[in-house]
Structures are given as C-alpha cells and as structure tokens.
Copies of this chain bind each other. A is one copy, B any other.
Amino acid sequence: MVKQERAARTRRALVRAAAEVFASEGFALASLSAISRRAGVSNGALHFHFENKKALADAVRQEASDSLARVTGLAEDSGDALQALVGATHGLMGLVADDTVVRAGFELCSDPAHGRDGALRRQWQTWVEATLARAERDGLLAEGATSDRLAPAVVAATVGFEVLGARDPRWLSGERVAGFWELVLPGIAVDAAAVGFLPKKAAGQSG
C-alpha cells in the first residue's frame, strides 16, 4: 500500500513536470530526461510509468480533462443554466491561470507536433452547447436567441481568452471575463439582472 502510494505520487510528479516542460518548450522539443529531472526521478522511473512522450501528453490531457469536468460540474451546482455558464467560464480561466497541467493540455490542442487533436477544447464546446440548450429549454433565453446561434460566439470568446491568457495572464482576470458577459447577456437573457457576472469563489477562480 505504501509502495502504491509512492508510485502514484511519482506518477503525479511526472505528469506535472511534463506539463511544465511542454508549456515552456512545446511538445516537439520537450525531452524525457528534462521531464524526469524536473520531477526529481530517474529515467527508469519515468519509463516504468510512461512508455514514451506521447503517453505523457495523453496523461496531461486526461488530468486536464478531469479538472475541466470538475469545474463545469461545480458550476452546474451554482444556479440555473446561464449562471452555470458564467461560473464555468470564470472557473476555466482560473484553471488556465493556476494549473500548468490544464494550460499545457489546452496548448496541446493546437500543437502540430502533437497532431492538433483539439480534444480539450471540444470537451468545453460540448459542455457550452449542452448548457445553452438547457437554458433554452428552461426558457432563460430572450426571444430570437437560440442556443445554436449563441454557442459558437461563446466558445470562440472563451477559447480566445484562454489562448491570449497563456501569454499574458491579464486576459484571465475575473473582470475581463465579466466584461464579456456584461456585453452579451443583456441581449440573450430573459432576465440578465438575475445572473451574477462576477466569479464565484466556488468555481475555482483566483483573481
């Protein structure tokens, strides 16, 4: 049992180290020895847990995907579908700001050396579409605003904040994200005044 715990801890350290090296050098130039060195383990320990660099990237993406699912799940508990949407965008930016694994997971989405799989952004897009569809069914959207029309704009804006924020963290601030919602919500919500634009601490937002 102690052995298993140690193995799990080593694996976590390797995933975090891989994310840090991917984020600073990109997938193509990241070397396995830089990753094991940063994790403070031997090359042999790295190979015990991960067959190759691709397997490390898959683990980064999986951990980022779990964090994203946690944030959207928390947001769903914070109120109706529109409040959940606002809360989840704040939570997402908080994750990108604070969690290297999430930041690296999103960057792998458009890294040509890693096949530009786009998986994590697609997970976010699917959740936004489903949540806006729920808002529509629950009668929260203003006349003429349909989830099909809104979802691409919301997905594009949030992906833009995430991409710009990877270079300059000011793009991830609660104020900037709130500014987007203040701009968009009055036009799409039956009752925009009922929705809080600012981050909820519960959604994992830091600033």
Interface size of A in residues (CB-CB distance below 8 Å): 42
Give the dominant DSSP class at A's interface: helix
**CB proximity of A115 to chain B, nearest CB, Å:** 10
| Chain B positions within 8 Å of A28 at CB level | 26, 28-29, 113
Instruction: Give residues of chain A (8-37) contacting chain B, Cβ–Cβ below 8 Å.
Output: 23-26, 28-29
- Closest residue on chain B to residue A188 by CB atoms: B183
- Closest residue on chain B to residue A157 by CB atoms: B157
- Closest residue on chain B to residue A121 by CB atoms: B164
Chain A residues packing against B (C-beta within 8 Å): 23-26, 28-29, 107, 109-113, 116, 118, 121, 145, 149-150, 152-153, 155-161, 163-164, 166-168, 171, 176, 179-180, 182-184, 186-188
